[in-house]
Amino acid sequence: MSVNLCIDWGNTNIKAAIFENNSISKTFVLTHAKAIEEISSIIDTHKPERAIVSSVTGESAEFEQVLASKIKSFIKLDGFTRTPINNAYGTPETLGPDRLAMVVGANAAFPDKSNLVICLGTCITYNMVLKTRTFRGGSISPGMQMRLHAMHQFTNKLPEVSIDGDVVLMGYDTESGIRSGAIYGVACEIDGMIAAYEKTITDFNVILTGGDAPFFVDKFKSQIFADPDILLKGLNVILNYNV
């Protein structure tokens, strides 16, 4: 049985998965303060032969050193790593590896179609991989929490509003108005982005992922697929591709 360990170190959360024979057998969310201890325990329990990390922050450096010392076959993903798709991004040196992993995951799941992967994480990213297996890039915009927090941070009077609470289009007070702007703003942005892509690219899937995806999954006009693990699945594909 092959056992792979895939880790997605985002700007908010650290997610990990164990793949046994290329299916996810267990997923984890690691704690920042104890990430090294927790991953060491996961390695001791599951004994993965190979591991891969996608990180969008410099905070993971020590964690990666520990992984490299414990697992002989270890990859730190970046914009230059060999993958089954062609990377047409203009600056692979600054590309978020999470974005590359997502489109590899999407192309592996739906190889006969172009795929627009929308990740609702700390930021929102739009990531287009054509059915010719080319990653064409996309967009980066502020995430849900970032929008709510920014309105408090950059004004004098707006309160910090939680995502949890009444969500109505016509906000009836300050709190519901802020929540409406942030949540309906994201939903309308996504609908508008999909419509803009439809003008230039025909017949593509939309795949929604990221921590805030469950909140939005039934709020769009277009038909979408939701897959919380598309990034981790892409990491597993890349790991196998580099054996």
Interacting residues with ligand ADP (CB under 6 A) = 10-13, 121-122, 143-145, 163, 210-212
Element (H, E) at 144: helix 144-153
| Binding site partner of 144, from ligand PAZ, ligand ADP, none, Cβ cut-off 5-8 A by kind | ligand ADP
Cβ–Cβ < 8 Å for 231, 19: no
Task: Please identify which of the residues 44, 98, 191, 203 carries the catalytic annotation.
Answer: 98
Closest approach of ligand ADP to the CB of residue 197, in Å: 21
Return all residues near 183 (Cβ < 8 A) that are at least 6 apart. 144, 163, 167, 215
| Binding site partner of 140, from ligand ADP, ligand PAZ, none, Cβ cut-off 5-8 A by kind | ligand PAZ
Bridge partner list, 18 = 5, 26
Among 119, 183, 194, 232, binds ligand PAZ (CB under 6 A): 119
For residue 182, give the nearest of 139, 151, 155, 154 by alpha carbon.
151
Nearer to ligand PAZ, 71 or 119 (CB): 119
Element (H, E) at 180: helix 174-200
> Is residue 103 part of the contact set for ligand PAZ (CB under 6 A)?
no
For residue 164, indicate whether it is catalytic: no
* Residues contacting ligand PAZ: total by CB under 6 A: 15
